[in-house]
Amino acid sequence: MKTRFEDEKLKWIPLLILLVFFFPFVLKSATFSYKYYLYVINLAGIYMILTVGLDILSGYTGLMSLGHAAFLALGAYFSAIMVDQLGLPFELSLILTPMLVGCFGFIIGFPALRVQGIYLGLTTMGFGFIVKRLIIVFNEWTGGSAGLSVSNAKLFGWTINSDWENYFIIYFFVIIAIIIGRKIVRSKLGRAFMSIRDSEQAAIASGINLAKYKMISFFISGSFAGLAGVLFAHTSNFISTDHFDILLSIYFIVMVMIGGIGSIYGAVLGTLFIVLMENLFIPLFEDGLSKFIHLETGDFQAFIFGLIMLIFIIFQPLGLYGMWLKMRIYWKIFPFNPRKRFT
Amino acid sequence: MTDILTGLMQETISGVALGCIYALIALGFTLIYKATEVVNFSQGEIMMVGAYMHFFFLNQFVALTGGLNAWVFLLAFIGSVIFAVLFGIILDFIINRPLKGEPVFSIIMATISLAIILRSLTAMLAGPLSLIPISPFGDHTFILGGVVISILDISIIFSAIIMMSVFYYFFNYTKWGISMKATSADSEAAQLLGIPVNKVYRYVWIFASVVGVLSGIMLAPRMALIDTSMAFLGLKAFPAAILGGFGSIKGAIVGGIILGIIETVSLGTLSFYFPWIKEINDIIVWIVLIGVLMIRPDGLFGMAKVKRV
């Protein structure tokens, strides 16, 4: 018998796996410059793993984090040090690093027991700055501000060294992250998170240990980001503190929000939307435009990016997932739509 | 020993000057947060636009009159303030009006995208050049009891004091100031009492824009050059607003000044005597912030919200 909380959506997953698996072959046959597209899509995949974790923290538990780039950085640097300098196998780092970064999430969870809302956001932002500085201070290990080159991932004797191979390894983990994320939010854990988000007082009254569940939420979110960091380090082969800027943390929150906060699929969609828009559509659009007028490239791209986002938010304040929900309701009650409610 | 003391004195004075600017930026955050519960991520960008506009006006008026005198500075100042008011009205139309009644996080996202737009648009219009600003009070220094004091710092401190007194008067004794306070305390109750809440929101955005532009004008001469990275100072003023308690005007001012002093003192004397501080001077502010928040989770002057189930 199906309970109310049992997940029916997982029947989508085999279809998703097929789609993800055949996508690069379609891309390869469709265009010559598929390598760059794959690179961008890989980046989106890494960020997706992170935003799924961020969504569990911010969307489901209601704890704002403005420092998630720091978790990404920790994951990347831990894995790079473990594999290259301590000589551990990549497979071990793949398991150990998320755990380690999750423990850091645990530490950051301590202020969350007292501090709330925007204060917590700023605490995590401070954590982001502190981590960035510490990476530069420990320069014997991390290479300081000059950056650190990282070896390719070796998985069971198979060296992964092209965007093509990266794609499969990254999206393998993306699908696992999505499944785990869905499972978590539909379990007892996820219901506890949501009740904390909706009302802490009510959660305490119904016997939820606030401290425990907030810490668990930070741990889960941290380990997702750690996993993303491992993949980031070993697929991009070079990491420096510039990759983990404070603006990136803000972008992560924007990705989750634009997808629709409090929905795993929303986080994935939002990440795909932002990364593709920033790295593919706007440069293409600008290429088209540069035939007519001369423009400063970087600033113009940022300008269009900001403009599209602003317009999108003004017309669709609930994000992509909200748009999808509206569409679904529209078709469900199709012939009897009340007017003016669906715009 | 006296060396340390004079050093500390000197850095404290310039720290207070820097802190006054942080306090003004933090005031902008605080105003908007108080009235609308929106965290305005574009306050630093508004400040940057203000600095650019003041420079632009100054250039234009110098070209018109052919000389640099007090009147030119005054005109440029008035021009920037008028621009700030218009800018605030535009911001109200872009951000506040269309998103009325939407969840707060949508409005926060709108301010983030506004920040991106302002930063890139300024870079596009002004070009990649960095501009060298000038202060109307010059940049002489004088020595008072062994402490070297720059006129620039003194002028910043005095103009900040004047501005803060004006704000204090405005918020506590004028009709609009009191209705802003009422709206921020409880917007529905304020509406019932006949306060035009929408208008108050518009005035809040105008006010935040004016504060941002003024802090930009004050900060510019201290920066040695203006470029778009100035906007990131907005992120540095965040801890100031948080330290004092987000949503408290007194807190923004005290928090700003405390952080300004911490920053300059740790950069100067302390890092001279304790070399390890030099390595972490840019995160000391954040460590202090986290420490304070662990003891007082709502900042120094913030009030804990009473929650009803």
Instruction: Give the pLDDT confidence of A210-269 residue by residue, as tens digits.
Output: 889 999 999 999 999 999 999 999 888 888 888 888 888 888 988 888 887 778 888 898
Q: CB–CB of A213/A193 below 8 Å? A: yes
Determine the Cα–Cα distance for residues A124 and B239; give it in Å rounded to an integer.
Answer: 12
Neighboring chain A residues of B290 at a CB cutoff of 8 Å = 111, 123, 126-127
A165 interfacial to chain B (CB closer than 8 Å) = no
Kindly provide the ipTM of the predicted complex, given to two decimals: 0.81
- Asked whether the CA dihedral B71, B73, B74, B76 is positive or negative, the reply is positive
* pLDDT higher than 50, residue A2: no
**Is B26 in contact with B240 (CB distance < 8 Å)?**
yes
CA-based nearest distance B58→chain A, Å: 25
Q: Could you tell me the two tokens for B171? A: 């918020």
Residues of chain B with pLDDT below 70 are 1, 127-131, 138-139, 224, 277-278, 303-309
Of all residues in chain B, the one with the smallest CA distance to A198 is B309
Residues A81-117 pLDDT 10s: 998 888 888 888 889 999 999 999 988 888 888 887 7
Q: Of B187, B180, B167, which Cα lies nearest the Cα of B249?
A: B167
Query: A144 CB near a chain B CB, below 8 Å?
Result: no
CA distance A42 to A27: 13
Please check whether residue A294 touches B, CB under 8 A.
Answer: no
Q: What is the pLDDT of residues A6-40, one digit of tens each?
A: 455 567 778 888 888 888 888 888 877 788 888 89
- Neighbour tally for A205: CB within 10 Å: 11
A55, A68, A108, A193 from A197: Cα distances, Å: 12, 19, 18, 6
Cβ–Cβ contact B103 with A under 8 A? yes
pLDDT above 70 covers a percentage of chain A that reads 92
Residue B297: list chain A partners with CB under 8 A. Answer: 114-116, 119
Q: Considering CB atoms only, which of B108, B113, B128 is closest to A306? A: B113
- pLDDT at res. A294: 65
Long-range CB contacts (within 8 A, 24+) of A103-108: A103/A219, A103/A222, A104/A71, A104/A74, A104/A222, A105/A71, A105/A218, A105/A219, A105/A220, A105/A221, A105/A222, A105/A223, A105/A225, A106/A215, A106/A218, A106/A219, A106/A222, A108/A67, A108/A218, A108/A222
Residues of A in contact with B289 (CB under 8 A): 122-123, 126
Cβ contact, residue pair B297, A114, below 8 Å = yes
CA gap B187, B180 in Å, rounded = 9
CB contact under 8 A, B105 and A261: yes
Checking if the pLDDT of A299 tops 90, the result is: no
SS3 A160: strand
Interface membership of B78 toward A (CB under 8 Å):
no
At B8 the pLDDT is 82
> Which of these, A164, A161, A162, A139, lies nearest to A151 by C-alpha position?
A161
Q: Where are the domains of chain A?
A: 9-245
Q: Are A254 and A313 spatial neighbours (Cβ–Cβ below 8 Å)? A: no
